[in-house]
Amino acid sequence: MKYPLIALGLISYISAQGQPAPSKTAPMDAQNPFLQAYKTPHETAPFDKIKNEHYLPALKVGIDAGKKEVEKIIENPAQPTFDNTVVALERSGELVGKVTSVLFNLTSSQTSPELQKIAREASPILTAYSNDITLNDKLFGRIKKVYDQRANLKLDTESRTLLEKTYRRFARNGANLNATDKDKLRKIDIELSELSLGFGENVLNETNEYELLVTDQNDLAGLPDYAKEAALAAAKQKGKTGWLFTLQAPSYLPFIQHADNRELRQRIWTASNQKGFKGDKNDNKAIVGKIVALRYERAVLLGYKTHADFVLQESMAGSAERVTKFLDELVTYAKPVAVAEMAELTAYAKKQGFAGDRLQPWDSAYYSEKLKKEKYALDDEQLKPYFKLENVLDGIFTVANKMYGLSFKENKDIPVYNSEVKAYEVFDEKGKFVAVFYGDYFPRASKRGGAWMNDVQAQKTVDGVNIRPHIVNVCNFTRPTDTKPSLLTFDEVTTLFHEFGHALHGMLADGQYESLTGTAVFRDFVELPSQVMENWCYEPEALQLFAKHYQTGEVIPADLIKKIRESQNFQSGLFNLRQLRLGLLDMVWHNNAPLGVGIADIEKGLDARVNLFPTVSGTAISPAFSHIFAGGYSAGYYSYKWSEVLDADAFEYFKEKGIFNREVAASFRANVLSKGSSQSPDELYKKFRGREPSPKAMLRRSGLMQ
């Protein structure tokens, strides 16, 4: 069920679990696509017919229908059973999921002021609907009766998991509170949902509103041709003369890495790190404070010490104490390596003419890129010609075929929400339909930054029919220009593989209950399928499948592959320390009572320990930290490092047997990709690997331990 996530302001960064199968009880309305059966291939969302005026009326119909379904469960005169209570609740609210899956996909990838207004109107309505369910005494009473009989019920593992998770969901979200406290919880949840949406809108506005227009060609010194060409096209598109740079990653990153003009690097870096922190209409300082305070108040109301304790009860880590210990231990490995790398980088910069005592943050990427090129004779200019987007997509589809027997066929009859989006049908080796896959790869003003996976329809099995998923990958990659196709940096290649790993998790789901399938897993387990896929980007056997020069068709030379592999751990200490800094910052916000000090002071205190660069006044991470304040990662950002332990250990198994070994791939599919959260992730991993994961694989791969 998707809507309980919205109640907590946790519109998922990775997977919005929708329920778009047509409701049998929904009235038909020829004017509203949501209120009629989808007459599209595989009943995909008719994006071409859905208009803004359709959302709220359909949502009202869906909520009314959902309330009647819940009332029917409550008023059932029969004794509560797993089927008439737990399964009936799981199957309820289909139309609500159908509408919200489209709405919240588009507010991330194809938004507008009108759609943002609709989301703001819908959010409190959905929150109230969710709370009406989880705070209903009679409904919880029926669930509890079934739960108390669980030892005597002959349930399969997945059904037992559904029962336990349903009971915990109610208990953890206020079912045991008194009436007064339930009212408090309702108000908190509504305010959190609105604040989360506002935070995300402000970050998007900040990103879209900033422009750095360069009119003197001398200020472009150092920039690669692809960056200059893209900037020229961006300026032309907006009717301006010169070269236009923005805070979108494909524009920002090449500038901060290559531009010789230090003053302009400082200017664009500062703009990027001032998002939500300037005291203007897009300011997020107050929103951060309110979100943190309300999350803490909510956790205490529910009987938890902190928001982190509430969140981490449902995780592999299990507790805030264990997460903190985990991050602290990794700091002891990463920091000495990072300090040595920083000394090397500073010495190199001084040889290049840097006159200061300490490098500033806007110097880091610039000198790092030069040092990397000098050490490994490698840079993006050499690699990009081998990574044409279409070739990389063909390659990733080939990898999926070699591992899992999947094939991808574009179907232009499937409606899409933007002309740049491509829709594919996915089939197995026997030609059986597996999923719909949408690919959306270029930045635009209507799309937030970053990369993510969503589903428009999640997998489930109803009345013996396996309803297959519709999965979306959204990225912000380098656009084609007038003279070149979209040529990806190597970082963009790994991002594509990462998000496709999430997509596989969704596409290969094979369970009974939607709330347990696909990416509906613990946050510190969800990154395993995505992060493990990145490993194939470094393997010659995989690279040779798709890394072909866009002009000559030449396969990437062996010496370039060797350089990619040799440079894999370049500045690994600094990279790991940056990630740990974010994870620790998340825990500072959520593993304490509100600290009563400003954002700058909180971040400065943490930076004294894990940031090797000077703190820059007027900049901060938190006001644009969308993962934890507008996504689903509050008290969960550590999960990237946690999952890295799993993915490194898992990939060592693939390496032992062969990276395209079908037996290992079949085991990974059977025990991880297809199972969702139908069983404990610890047990699922052990079934795949034959043992518990070892953190040593990650430390070895990262160069943090010999």
Burial profile 203-226: b = 16 or more Cβ within 10 angstroms, e = fewer: bbbbbbebebebeeeebbebbbeb
- Helices 681-689 and 523-534 pack at an angle, to 10 degrees, of 30
Predicted local confidence at residue 10, as pLDDT:
32
Predicted local confidence at residue 6, as pLDDT:
31
Q: What angle do CA 238, 241, 243 make, to 5 degrees?
A: 85
Predicted local confidence at residue 218, as pLDDT:
97
19 in Cβ contact with 97 (< 8 Å): yes
Q: With the C-alpha atoms ordered 121, 123, 126, 127, is the resulting torsion angle positive or negative?
A: negative
| Spatial distance between the Cα atoms of 566 and 538, rounded to a whole number of angstroms | 10
| Spatial distance between the Cα atoms of 61 and 706, rounded to a whole number of angstroms | 61
507 in Cβ contact with 470 (< 8 Å): no
> Which residues sit opposite 214 in a β-bridge?
243
Backbone torsions φ then ψ of 438, nearest 5 degrees: -105, 135
- Examine the pLDDT at 329 and tell me if it is beyond 70: yes
Q: In percent, how much of the chain has pLDDT > 70?
A: 96
Q: Which two tokens stand for residue 20?
A: 């778009």
Q: Which two tokens stand for residue 524?
A: 């510190």
The DSSP secondary-structure symbol of 512 reads: S
Query: pLDDT, tens digit, for every residue of 234-275?
Result: 999 999 999 999 999 999 999 999 999 999 999 999 999 999
| Spatial distance between the Cα atoms of 351 and 353, rounded to a whole number of angstroms | 5
Residue entry with tokens 């959905």: 126
How many other C-beta atoms can be found within 10 angstroms of the C-beta atom of residue 375?
14
Contacts of 157 (CB under 8 A, 6+ apart): 678, 679
Query: pLDDT, tens digit, for every residue of 365-393?
Result: 999 999 999 999 998 889 999 999 999 99
Reported pTM: 0.92
Q: Which of 492, 499, 514, 644 is catalytic?
A: 499
Confidence class for position 28, pLDDT limits 50, 70, 90: low
Confidence class for position 469, pLDDT limits 50, 70, 90: very high
Confidence class for position 477, pLDDT limits 50, 70, 90: very high
Is 341 a residue of the active site? no
Q: Please give the C-alpha separations between residue 104 and each of 508, 666, 703, in angstroms, as whole numbers.
A: 23, 33, 40
Q: Which two tokens stand for residue 579?
A: 């990630």
Contacts of 246 (CB under 8 A, 6+ apart): 207, 208, 210, 211, 212, 234, 252
CA 13 to chain centroid: 4
What's the chain's average pLDDT?
94
| Spatial distance between the Cα atoms of 9 and 194, rounded to a whole number of angstroms | 7
Mean pLDDT score, 321-331: 96
- Examine the pLDDT at 24 and tell me if it is beyond 50: no
Domains 3-134+136-172 and 384-566+639-701 share a fold: yes
Predicted local confidence at residue 147, as pLDDT:
98
| Spatial distance between the Cα atoms of 244 and 246, rounded to a whole number of angstroms | 7
Write out the H or E segment, with its range, that includes residue 214. Answer: strand 212-214
Predicted local confidence at residue 357, as pLDDT:
87
Contacts of 288 (CB under 8 A, 6+ apart): 199, 589, 599, 622, 623, 629
Would residue 431 be called left, alpha or beta, if left means φ above 0 and alpha means ψ between -120 and 50 degrees? left
Write out the H or E segment, with its range, that includes residue 436. Answer: strand 433-440
Predicted local confidence at residue 26, as pLDDT:
40
Mean pLDDT score, 565-580: 96
- Examine the pLDDT at 22 and tell me if it is beyond 70: no
- Examine the pLDDT at 4 and tell me if it is beyond 60: no
Contacts of 138 (CB under 8 A, 6+ apart): 74
Least confident among 9-13, 37-41, 401-405: 9-13
CATH of domain 3-134+136-172: 1.10.1370.40
473 in Cβ contact with 536 (< 8 Å): no
| Spatial distance between the Cα atoms of 35 and 59, rounded to a whole number of angstroms | 10
- Examine the pLDDT at 303 and tell me if it is beyond 90: yes
398 in Cβ contact with 504 (< 8 Å): no
427 in Cβ contact with 406 (< 8 Å): yes
Mean pLDDT score, 576-584: 97
Q: 384-566+639-701 has which fold?
A: Neurolysin; domain 3 (1.10.1370)
Q: Which two tokens stand for residue 527?
A: 């990154």
Nearest to 129 by CA among 177, 92, 85, 81: 92
Query: pLDDT, tens digit, for every residue of 33-76?
Result: 999 999 999 999 999 999 999 999 999 999 999 999 999 999 99
Query: pLDDT, tens digit, for every residue of 163-205?
Result: 999 999 999 999 999 999 999 999 999 999 999 999 999 999 9
| Spatial distance between the Cα atoms of 228 and 243, rounded to a whole number of angstroms | 7
Q: Which two tokens stand for residue 188?
A: 């908190």
Question: Domain residue spans in the chain?
Answer: 3-134+136-172, 210-271, 384-566+639-701
> Which residues sit opposite 439 in a β-bridge?
422, 473
Neighbour-count burial of 509, counting CB atoms closer than 10 A to its CB (0-12 exposed, 13-18 middle, 19+ buried): buried
Coil, helix or strand at residue 434: strand
Confidence class for position 706, pLDDT limits 50, 70, 90: low
247 in Cβ contact with 275 (< 8 Å): yes
